[in-house]
Structure 1
Amino acid sequence: MLKKIGLGVVVVALFFILVGWLLPSEFKVVRTVRIEAPAEIIFNHVKDLRKWQHWGVWFERDPDMKVVYEGPVSAVGMKSSWQSETQGNGEMETVAIEENQRFIYTLTFPEMGVGSTGELTLREKEGETVVIWHDYGDVGANPLLHYVAFFMDRMIGADLQMGLENLKVISETEFQAM
């Protein structure tokens, strides 16, 4: 009887590993919001990593998060690193800026050995700005991490959307106060 149970466990484990190998290692999550404010106002909240605390949902979830900033403010090379018991530990670095149009960063979670690249793209048109947030990456060859890639949209999509909604409120409020 124990041999059958052991064999069953091995078969199930091999099945999950095999399926993991078949799943893609790459992921891409995309969310969009329309903001009734100029791109310049919005971009000022995006390019300065210190301002992410005002609209990023992760900071709301853990007000005790310890964040350290270094490098040039609102410029390529600006970094933030954080420690959080509930949101995990990570690092973010600004890698490219196209003023009022595009912001690109890398995000790493050293403890998990995974990371991603993120882009916030702004398209100003007829009194509003469309902001598109992309987060994409490759989890590598580990078949168990392929499950993470497969479910990444469900895991972080709502967080990206809520962050964009928070950015919308902050930017529109600032624009209306001008």
Structure 2
Amino acid sequence: MKTILKILGVIILLAVLYVVFAMIAFSKDYHFERSVVINAPKEKVWQHVGSTKAFNEWNPFAKADKNIVITYSGTPGTVGDSYHWKGNDQVGEGEQSVTEVIPNQKLSSTLHFIKPWDGVANGSFVLTPEGSGTKVTWTMDNELTTMMKVMKPMMDSQMGKMFDQGLGDLKKISEQ
């Protein structure tokens, strides 16, 4: 019994030390990005990233809820192009609005997460020539709360899975 209590005590101590370390050592500024090279010209790839509606054809976050409700507004492919989503607990609720467009090169947007937590992030798609194809870099930047700092390794893992899935789907439809 004492051995079990000692092991439990060590586990609790390590967990507390990790939490303290994460709160102190991890930056509040969070940047995540993934890239893929697509065997298609940037004009063809742009058709799938150049508007919120095109993005939602392959958006891995929206795919997590088959019954998601998406409402679009603004002119597709221009600053102000936006959508509001409302989904299940996995998808939550929020809005994404385009803030910068350089056709065939870059689309930037602001995301406002409403549920399950309130927050703001900035995302972008950058297209650059790579050999005979196009390199697409998908980025997301936001500010982490103290609790989110503690969850950063889990966030990195989840974001990696979702970005990789999305970029894989983008590659598939762009190369058709």
Q: Structure 2-normalised TM-score?
A: 0.82
Match of 2:105 among 98, 101, 105: 101
SS at structure 1 position matched to 2:175: helix
| Cα RMSD after superposing both structures | 2.1
Equivalent in the alignment of 2:3: none
Which of structure 1's runs of 4+ aligned residues deviate more than 4 A? Answer: 11-17
CA separation in 2, counterparts of 1:156 and 1:58? 10
Gaps in structure 2 of 5+ consecutive residues = 1-8
Gaps in structure 1 of 5+ consecutive residues = 1-7, 174-178
CA separation in 1, counterparts of 2:151 and 2:98? 24
Task: State whether structure 2 residue 159 is matched by structure 1 residue 156.
Answer: yes
Q: 1:135-146 residue pairs with structure 2 within 5 A?
A: 135-139=140-144, 142-146=145-149
Give the percent of matched residue pairs that are identical in Structure 1 and Structure 2: 25
Decide whether the 8 Å contact of 1:17 with 1:143 is kept in 2: no
More helix by share: 1
Decide whether the 8 Å contact of 2:92 with 2:114 is kept in 1: no
After superposition, the C-alpha distances for 1:37-59 in whole angstroms (9 at most, x for unaligned) are 11011112112111223211123
Structure number with greater CO (CA < 8 Å, separation at least 6) is 1
Equivalent in the alignment of 1:40: 43
Equivalent in the alignment of 1:24: 27
After superposition, the C-alpha distances for 1:55-86 in whole angstroms (9 at most, x for unaligned) are 11123221210001111211111111101113
CA separation in 2, counterparts of 1:19 and 1:162? 31
Using the TM superposition, give the Cα deviation of residue 150 of structure 1 relative to its aligned residue in structure 2, in angstroms: 4.8
Give the residue type in structure 2 aligned to 1:18: V
After superposition, the C-alpha distances for 1:21-40 in whole angstroms (9 at most, x for unaligned) are 31321111111111111101
Q: Structure 1-normalised TM-score?
A: 0.81
Using the TM superposition, give the Cα deviation of residue 125 of structure 1 relative to its aligned residue in structure 2, in angstroms: 3.4
